[in-house]
Chain A
Amino acid sequence: MFASSSQLKHWMFNNEGEIQSLRQEANARYVEEHGTKMSEEQRQAYFLSASEERHLCRHFEFVLKEFCSRFQPPMPKYVLGTALCYFKRFYINCSAMDYHPKDIMLTCVYLASKVEEFNVSINQFVGNLKGDREKFANIILTFELLLMDKLNYHLLIHNPYRPMEGLFIDLKTRFRVLENPEKLRKGAEEFLEKSLMTDVCMLFAPSQVALTAVLVSAAKEKANLDRYVTETLLKGMSPEDIKKLQVQIKKLRYMVKSQEQIPREQMAHLQRKLDHCRNQENNPESEVYKRKLQEMLNEDEEIQTKKRKKISEEQKKKDDELLFMPSYVPSSNT
């Protein structure tokens, strides 16, 4: 249930401003760590600003959506919802320069398909990608644990799809006045798709999103559902609560309607900038990364050989002690 979920307890925020400030903090942390010797202007020219990061992330969210829509076998919508939610949560606490969005994007989809029981093997998954498939497979498997860690292992996402189905069932059963609720389905699904590109999953409950979707679709089809909402769905609730809910719905609607276009022209330029300033330690294709990996393996080996040496030395000592103990030396004469 949403009410008892980790989504409600840890990943819901008060308003857009809070999310924005968290992202800015993540950005600032990265700049502090990696730009110690630069001046202010140099930093601005070299590193991505928080808004540029935001543009990049939004672009990659769009790419994620396209990837999922073309996925073979056909991917259900809630997997896309889960993957996008993971992606958004990851980049609240980490900067895009630290981990490149294109790596994390694939990892999010892979992890989401596992969690939502839409099982695809890694080979089937990378079969949908063009290019060096083995490399992609390695990237995904490398970042999977990291992604889970940054999500604090809160993997269950409540998407608005099931609440929407529930609302349709309820409409068909209790609000017979509306002849064909199915005609509202398409509009509601379009609204939900648009809402995936915004941050509403972290600001509003999934049932609120679903209800807004249905109401928006009804407005388009010129069907009036106000009676349904006030008399059937929310029967018995106090008028103040109903008013507050209406305010929420309005806010939601506005947020989804007024989302900005992603500035496509800047994308190429921003991506190049990112290539320069990204953290090479986390870039699976860089020399630094490969060297670190090698060092780690060597370290492991060193530790192993040291251990073995220690054990054999101790064994030798024990043997010597036994041999030189005076009372145990067998006497050859009576």
Chain B
Amino acid sequence: MDDQGCPRCKTTKYRNPSLKLLVNVCGHSLCETCVEALFVKGSGICPECGTALRKNNFRVQLFEDPFIEKEIEVRRKILKDYNKKEEDFKTLEEYNDYIEMIETLIFNIVNNIDVDETRQMIEQYKRENKDQINKGRNKKSKDEEYLECLIEQEKEESSLKRKFIVEEEQREKDSKKKHKEALLDELMFSDRSALDILNEHKTDIDKENELRVPVMATTKFSTGIKLMGKYLRHIRSASDEEKGGGFESKLACMRALLDAVNGLFYLPDQV
């Protein structure tokens, strides 16, 4: 868990498990204090491999294996430039070849194979497709668009529901206030006994609560229920145990009707 200690101050990681490790482009990790210490002096080289570093290139380490962190970094950089989507290719094979090429590039760089050649290829690609890269940077893939659409829908629905609840509460408060005032008026100005007036008001309130049927946001009905509506009137409705088990009356009704007509035209082979 401790990544065997920070390479500079060795012991500090064991003593303080909450100390974070930061990793940089060469793949070697350093604890926070060491990063500060390293850049106080103004110099920026990795203590293990001596590559030149910049302070803002340090990222919080997500994975234990620094190799993986390096690969992630390389991948992110490359994919920023190689950002063609599936819709840009005519055939599936072309898209697959493109993806494979990207993987080969990443693999080469991470494992230090033909690094110079690979970097040259990347530069060439960047030069050739400069416009497309810039355009593509802002375009989102179809999937992302769809997801965004869904999220928006959900947000709308939840805001509608919230509005509705708030309105309901407001309505309830108003009606309660009205009742209280009416009650007080009657107690003050009418001649009947106090008990009678109280009872009458209580029954009025109960009746009102019954009438106010909660109007739920109606979800769209599937056409199946609309068609089946008339049939369902002639069949007993599902008991609670059956509904809990997933058996609706619609299913039983459909089954009976289908069985009634299935096989009506069955004829043996030699009549």
Residues of A within 8 A of B63 (CB): none
Cβ of B264 within 8 Å of any chain A Cβ, yes or no, is yes
In the complex, the number of residue pairs spanning A and B with C-beta atoms less than 8 Å apart equals 86
Chain A residue nearest to B264 (CB atoms) is A207
A151 to B173, CA, bound (A): 71
Q: Is the pair B269, A172 in contact by a Cβ cutoff of 8 Å?
A: no
Q: Is the pair B259, A14 in contact by a Cβ cutoff of 8 Å?
A: no
What is the minimal beta-carbon distance from B103 to any residue of chain A, in angstroms? 47
A247 to B270, CA, bound (A): 14
Q: Is the pair A166, B260 in contact by a Cβ cutoff of 8 Å?
A: yes
Cβ of A225 within 8 Å of any chain B Cβ, yes or no, is no
Cβ of B256 within 8 Å of any chain A Cβ, yes or no, is yes
Residues of B within 8 A of A172 (CB): 234
Residues of B within 8 A of A237 (CB): 265
Chain A residue nearest to B256 (CB atoms) is A166
Q: Is the pair A169, B234 in contact by a Cβ cutoff of 8 Å?
A: yes
Q: Is the pair A244, B265 in contact by a Cβ cutoff of 8 Å?
A: yes
A170 to B235, CA, bound (A): 11
Chain A residue nearest to B231 (CB atoms) is A173
A162 to B253, CA, bound (A): 10
Residues of A within 8 A of B262 (CB): 1-3, 163, 205, 207
Residues of B241-271 at the interface with A, using a CB-CB cut-off of 8 Å, are 253, 255-271
Interface of A (DSSP majority class): helix
What is the minimal beta-carbon distance from A195 to any residue of chain B, in angstroms? 15
Chain B residue nearest to A174 (CB atoms) is B230
Set B231, B258, B266: member contacting A208, Cβ < 8 A: B266
Scan A218-260; emit 1 where CB is below 8 A from any B CB, else 0: 0000000000000001100100010011011000000000000
Scan A153-189; emit 1 where CB is below 8 A from any B CB, else 0: 0000010001111111110110000000000000000
Residues of A within 8 A of B263 (CB): 2-3, 8, 205-208
Q: Is the pair B259, A166 in contact by a Cβ cutoff of 8 Å?
A: yes
Residues of B within 8 A of A158 (CB): 259
Given known pairs A169-B231, A208-B263, the reply for A14 and B268 (CB within 8 Å) is yes
What is the minimal beta-carbon distance from A261 to any residue of chain B, in angstroms? 27
Cβ of A277 within 8 Å of any chain B Cβ, yes or no, is no
Set A3, A164, A169, A245: member contacting B253, Cβ < 8 A: A169
Q: Is the pair A208, B269 in contact by a Cβ cutoff of 8 Å?
A: no
A208 to B260, CA, bound (A): 8
Residues of B within 8 A of A8 (CB): 263, 266
Set B255, B256, B258, B268: member contacting A13, Cβ < 8 A: B268
A320 to B79, CA, bound (A): 71
Residues of A67-121 at the interface with B, using a CB-CB cut-off of 8 Å, are none
Residues of A126-167 at the interface with B, using a CB-CB cut-off of 8 Å, are 158, 162-167
Scan A1-39; emit 1 where CB is below 8 A from any B CB, else 0: 111000010001111000000000000000000000000
Residues of B within 8 A of A13 (CB): 268
What is the minimal beta-carbon distance from B264 to any residue of chain A, in angstroms? 5
Given known pairs A162-B259, A163-B256, A173-B234, the reply for A12 and B264 (CB within 8 Å) is no
Residues of A within 8 A of B255 (CB): 162, 166
A163 to B266, CA, bound (A): 14
What is the minimal beta-carbon distance from B80 to any residue of chain A, in angstroms? 55
A207 to B265, CA, bound (A): 9
Q: Is the pair A170, B265 in contact by a Cβ cutoff of 8 Å?
A: no
Set A2, A244, A247: member contacting B259, Cβ < 8 A: A2
Residues of B within 8 A of A165 (CB): 256, 260
What is the minimal beta-carbon distance from B14 to any residue of chain A, in angstroms? 52
Cβ of A203 within 8 Å of any chain B Cβ, yes or no, is yes
Q: Is the pair B268, A15 in contact by a Cβ cutoff of 8 Å?
A: yes
Q: Is the pair B267, A244 in contact by a Cβ cutoff of 8 Å?
A: yes
A3 to B266, CA, bound (A): 9
Residues of B51-99 at the interface with A, using a CB-CB cut-off of 8 Å, are none
Q: Is the pair A241, B265 in contact by a Cβ cutoff of 8 Å?
A: yes
Given known pairs A169-B234, A172-B234, the reply for A1 and B259 (CB within 8 Å) is yes
Residues of B within 8 A of A50 (CB): none
What is the minimal beta-carbon distance from A240 to any residue of chain B, in angstroms? 11
What is the minimal beta-carbon distance from B41 to any residue of chain A, in angstroms? 71
What is the minimal beta-carbon distance from A15 to any residue of chain B, in angstroms? 7
Residues of A within 8 A of B253 (CB): 169
What is the minimal beta-carbon distance from B237 to any residue of chain A, in angstroms? 14
What is the minimal beta-carbon distance from B233 to any residue of chain A, in angstroms? 8
Cβ of A211 within 8 Å of any chain B Cβ, yes or no, is yes
Cβ of A204 within 8 Å of any chain B Cβ, yes or no, is yes
What is the minimal beta-carbon distance from B69 to any residue of chain A, in angstroms? 57
A162 to B259, CA, bound (A): 7
Q: Is the pair A166, B269 in contact by a Cβ cutoff of 8 Å?
A: no
Cβ of A57 within 8 Å of any chain B Cβ, yes or no, is no
Q: Is the pair B264, A208 in contact by a Cβ cutoff of 8 Å?
A: yes
A237 to B267, CA, bound (A): 15
Set A14, A170, A211: member contacting B264, Cβ < 8 A: A211
Which A residues are closer than 8 A to B by beta carbons?
Answer: 1-3, 8, 12-15, 158, 162-170, 172-173, 203-208, 210-211, 233-234, 237, 241, 244-245, 247-248
